[in-house]
């Protein structure tokens, strides 16, 4: 019999790619999502890639009763990957209560359901944002966490603290928090990718939409940072490599290979690329000329952010293989296909 896993937020960008990797590894996947930031058609896209359409439940995970009923009928699951959350940094500054309400109630209801029905293994989607404004690089998992610059980021920091406390209090419960750096890219089939609503805040969808003529030009936020070319540096990670890290992390929990009941792993490539590096890669792989200009820095942006990924490499045996060119090219293929 297949191992059953629950993926919350599984019709979203990272969740859908992760569902594909779990199905490919022989797991039975149950997706639960309220479709507040994703579309039901993603299930057919997953089927087109894997041959399997995952079971789907449309539930708002802030609804305690419905969440509990869901857990009761899925108590045979070996683990849960919690992607469900609101994620727009700028929006969270304007609507902090909605962000705390959604992201923290999801987590509490998920933990209560797991506790009540004996589901022992949790993977939590965290973020490099928990390092706040860091002073030294590369960031490893023992680097000091600081108050994130947005309420969204703070839901990740508080979320990790809640999980850590619960993992100390509970004998059987184990969790791994994956701190993603900058996930970009799309599935090589061209059938899955990121679908931001409205004007994208993130760099990669803004680039692809500009190249497609949906936006006039990309504004590069800042060109006088103390970096090699003056533009800010980030650790971009291909979403498919990121998805595979979840499979390895859950297998580590299932096989009880953890050293502690709550573990943390950075998930990036360990390489910092500037905004101009990303544009150069995009122009090279897609043969598109990008319209861009320099603008002032975006408030809250850090100049440089990149990971030390040696812990994930050594302990999860996870090695990202896809390059920046793979990321920019697949993002472009996805953008063209979804607008065709």
User: Closest CB to ligand NAD among 58 and 310?
Assistant: 58
| Strand 273-274 to 233-234 pairing | antiparallel
Nearest distance, CB of residue 212 and ligand WQD, angstroms: 15
Options 152, 225, 273, 306, the catalytic residue: 152
User: Closest CB to ligand NAD among 91 and 325?
Assistant: 91
CA–CA dist 249, 238 (Å, integer)? 17
- Residue 120 CA, chain-centre distance (Å), reads 22
Q: Which one of 159-167, 214-222, 283-291, 328-336 is the stretch in contact with ligand WQD (CB under 6 A)?
A: 214-222
14 near ligand NAD, judged by CB under 6 A: yes
One of 110, 220, 242, 316 touching ligand WQD (CB under 6 A): 220
301 near ligand WQD, judged by CB under 6 A: yes
Binding mask 161-180 for ligand NAD (x = CB under 6 A): -------------------x
- Catalytic residue check, 152: yes
Nearest distance, CB of residue 191 and ligand WQD, angstroms: 23
Nearest distance, CB of residue 25 and ligand WQD, angstroms: 25
Residue 89 contact partner, candidates ligand WQD, ligand NAD, none, CB within 5 to 8 A by sort of partner: ligand WQD
Residue 11 contact partner, candidates ligand NAD, ligand WQD, none, CB within 5 to 8 A by sort of partner: ligand NAD
Residue 221 contact partner, candidates ligand NAD, ligand WQD, none, CB within 5 to 8 A by sort of partner: ligand WQD
Q: CA angle 220-226-230, nearest 5°?
A: 30
Q: Which one of 24-32, 185-193, 198-206, 309-317 is the stretch in contact with ligand WQD (CB under 6 A)?
A: 198-206
One of 92, 102, 143, 154 touching ligand NAD (CB under 6 A): 102
183 near ligand NAD, judged by CB under 6 A: yes
Tell me which residue has its CB nearest to ligand NAD: 12
Q: Which helix (H) or strand (E) holds 243?
A: helix 239-254
Whether 262 and 167 have beta carbons less than 8 Å apart is answered as: yes
One of 70, 83, 206, 306 touching ligand WQD (CB under 6 A): 206
Residue 252 contact partner, candidates ligand NAD, ligand WQD, none, CB within 5 to 8 A by sort of partner: none
Write the DSSP symbol of residue 142.
T
User: Closest CB to ligand WQD among 67 and 125?
Assistant: 125
Q: Which one of 5-13, 115-123, 215-223, 283-291 is the stretch in contact with ligand WQD (CB under 6 A)?
A: 215-223
CA–CA dist 11, 108 (Å, integer)? 21
- Of residues 238-267, those binding ligand NAD (CB under 6 A): none
Which spans of this chain sit near ligand NAD (rule: CB under 6 A)? Answer: 9, 11-15, 33-38, 60-62, 83-87, 102, 106, 125, 127, 180, 183
Active site residues: 152
């Amino acid at each position: 019999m297949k191992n059953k896993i629950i993926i919350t937020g599984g019709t979203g960008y990272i969740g859908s790619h992760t569902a594909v990797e779990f199905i490919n590894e022989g797991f039975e996947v149950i997706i639960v999502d309220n479709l507040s930031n994703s579309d039901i058609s993603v299930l057919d896209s997953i089927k087109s890639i894997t041959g399997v359409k995952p079971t789907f439940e449309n539930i708002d995970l802030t609804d305690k009763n419905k969440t509990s009923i869901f857990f009761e009928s899925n108590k045979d699951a070996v683990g849960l990957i919690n992607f469900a959350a609101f994620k727009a940094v700028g929006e969270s500054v304007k609507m902090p209560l909605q962000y705390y309400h959604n992201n923290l109630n999801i987590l509490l209801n998920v933990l209560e359901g797991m506790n009540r029905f004996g589901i022992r293994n949790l993977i939590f989607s965290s973020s490099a944002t928990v390092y706040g404004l860091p002073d030294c690089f590369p960031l490893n998992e023992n680097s000091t966490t600081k108050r994130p610059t947005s309420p969204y980021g703070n839901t990740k920091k508080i979320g990790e603290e809640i999980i850590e406390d619960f993992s100390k209090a509970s004998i059987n419960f184990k969790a791994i928090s994956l701190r993603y750096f900058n996930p970009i890219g799309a599935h090589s089939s061209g059938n899955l990718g990121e679908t931001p609503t409205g004007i994208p805040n993130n760099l990669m969808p803004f680039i692809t939409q500009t190249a497609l003529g949906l936006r006039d030009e990309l504004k590069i936020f800042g060109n006088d940072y103390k970096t090699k070319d003056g533009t800010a540096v980030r650790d971009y990670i291909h979403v498919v490599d990121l998805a595979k890290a979840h499979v390895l992390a859950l297998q580590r929990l299932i096989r009880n290979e953890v050293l502690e009941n709550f573990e943390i792993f950075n998930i990036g490539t360990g390489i910092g690329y500037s905004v101009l590096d990303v544009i150069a890669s995009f122009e090279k792989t897609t043969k598109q000329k990008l319209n861009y200009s320099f603008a002032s820095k975006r408030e809250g942006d850090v100049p440089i952010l990149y990971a030390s990924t040696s812990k994930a490499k050594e302990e999860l045996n996870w090695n990202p293989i896809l390059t920046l060119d793979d990321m920019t090219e697949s993002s472009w293929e996805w953008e063209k296909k979804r607008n065709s």
